[in-house]
Amino acid sequence: MQTNLLINGQWKSASSGKTFSVDNPATEDILAEVQRGNAVDVQQAVDAAKSAFNEWRWITANERGAMLHEVVAKTHQHWDEIAELLTLEQGKPKSENEEEVEWTANTFTYYAEMGRMMRGQVIPSGERSQLNIIIKEPYGVVGCILPWNYPLLLLAWKMAPALAAGNTVVIKPSEMTPLATLLFIEKCCDHLPNGVVNVVPGFGDAGQALAEHPDVPMIAFTGSVATGQKLAGICAPMMKHTHFELGGKDAFVLGPDADIKKAAKAVSYSALINCGQVCTSSERVYVPQHVRDEFAGHVTDLVKSLNIGPGMEADTDVGPMIGAQYREKVIGHVEDAKQKGATILTGGGIPEGKGYFYQPTVLMQVDHSMKIMTEETFGPAIPIMGYGNIDDAIEWVNNTPYGLGATLRSNDPKICKRFFEEVKAGTVWINDPLTDNYAGPFGGMKMTGGGRELGEEGFTTFMETKHVHWDFSDEPKDWWLPYH
């Protein structure tokens, strides 16, 4: 198992000699001791990436595309190995991790081709003798700082377009989940020139050193709002380009016409995949008041039928949470709701035995005085609230500082159109929650951050714009001076 830092093509120990433990959230056993990178290692990684950039940016887009396709081919060869390690360190069921590896490979395929197709634009010039060109250029070294919930997918959404655009990268994986990232880079990216991809596992101090480094003009970050705010404070005075994908509190609304049995299945899925640890998890559910109890009954029956267990067991539906402190937060939200009058229809407890498990929990009698309806819970909880008319539901969906996603189940076109026009969120799903599309931009509004990953926007975000104004005539122009 790879546990070292990757700098300039060399796997090496951390300069401090320190390591940190990565555990299996299903058993709490230590999986590995990983080298803990710090500012000194970040300095070396940035030096390597900066030097590699001078060559990588001039390699033809065709060659870069071919190398990114090779990443995909190697990912297919190591598919199972990567999905297994991801399951062991992250916790979600292996089938979900197999999908994560597949989406990772597909992201590389998508950007390998997009990189071959785009470098800018020619615009109409002011005079016949002139040519005006808009060139898209790579920034240089891009710092990629990652969370633990989709370690590889969220890496691919940054790394693939950044490399395709001609940048080099320094990756700081989450301290909770560095192992699958190291394996992926070791097995699938070993043909890339030295220094193009560097990995410094470690904690927040390593991420901060990356953000503070003057030779890193762009930071691409996915994580919490609190860390995003710290990074914004570092990057803004240095005028760095930032790409932030932060937290959410997505709502799921059942339109008055929705089939409640089908909706119950959709809600259970969108609230519980990855044990509710998805930035776009449905964290609050609004249903017409007159069907609330019946709908909640269907959701409860479904949730009770799910198997909780280690992600490596074939019949597991819901794995453990990533760690004790994250589970504490969910417990706090559920307790707060209970104290304020919520009813627990199922769950609300910790199963016996080891691992950071928490029973998927369905709550009713909830309102907006409760944390579980207003703050990001990031766990397996489904609070269900009734609404009198759809105006209230749409107002509630928007009544949050976040703006990542929102889901509606309805076949009433008038309600659908109102919903997607009035809801302030980066993605609106109608009838099919949480689905990504490589060609469709993904990201948030408001406190979720303004970046977009995937699609063309997710590529051009890793390039800056230069306008070239070129005149081919030797005739003097009317260059104003002297005025007399």
Task: Give the residues lining the site for ligand NAD (CB under 6 A).
Answer: 145-149, 154, 172, 174-175, 203-204, 207-208, 211, 222-224, 227, 230-231, 245-248, 279, 376, 378, 404, 444, 448
Q: How far is the CB of 221 from ligand NAD (least distance, A)?
A: 7
Q: How far is the CB of 71 from ligand NAD (least distance, A)?
A: 22
The torsion region of residue 412 among left (phi > 0), alpha (psi -120 to 50) and beta comes to beta
Beta-bridge partners for 430: 408
| Rounded Cα distance, 392 and 386, in Å | 10
Count Cβ neighbours within 10 Å for each residue of 6-38 and write b for 16 or more, e otherwise. Answer: bbbeeeeebbeeeebebbbbbbeeebbebbbbb
Provide the residue type at 202 as one letter.
G
Residues across the chain: 484
**CA-CA-CA-CA torsion for 401, 229, 91, 163, nearest 10 degrees?**
110
Closer residue to ligand NAD, CB minimum distance, 1 or 226: 226
- Among the residues of 165-222, which ranges form H helices? 179-188, 204-212
- Closest by CA position to 118, among listed 134, 103, 129: 134
Q: How far is the CB of 356 from ligand NAD (least distance, A)?
A: 14
Other Cβ atoms less than 10 A from the Cβ of 477: the count is 9
Tokens of 401: 């500082």
| Rounded Cα distance, 173 and 474, in Å | 55
Q: How far is the CB of 451 from ligand NAD (least distance, A)?
A: 8
Residue with smallest beta-carbon separation from ligand NAD: 207
**CA-CA-CA-CA torsion for 406, 410, 412, 418, nearest 10 degrees?**
-10
| Rounded Cα distance, 246 and 250, in Å | 12
Pairing of strands 10-12, 5-7: antiparallel
Phi, psi of 165 (to 5 degrees): -80, -10
Closer residue to ligand NAD, CB minimum distance, 13 or 224: 224
| Rounded Cα distance, 264 and 345, in Å | 14
Q: How far is the CB of 153 from ligand NAD (least distance, A)?
A: 9
Q: How far is the CB of 207 from ligand NAD (least distance, A)?
A: 2
SS3 406: strand
Our CA angle for 441, 447, 450, nearest 5°, is 35
Q: How far is the CB of 197 from ligand NAD (least distance, A)?
A: 17
Tokens of 169: 């990268």
Q: Within 13 Å and on the Cβ side, how many CA atoms surround 476?
A: 4
Tokens of 423: 């809801």
User: Looking at the annotation, which residues are catalytic?
Assistant: 245, 279
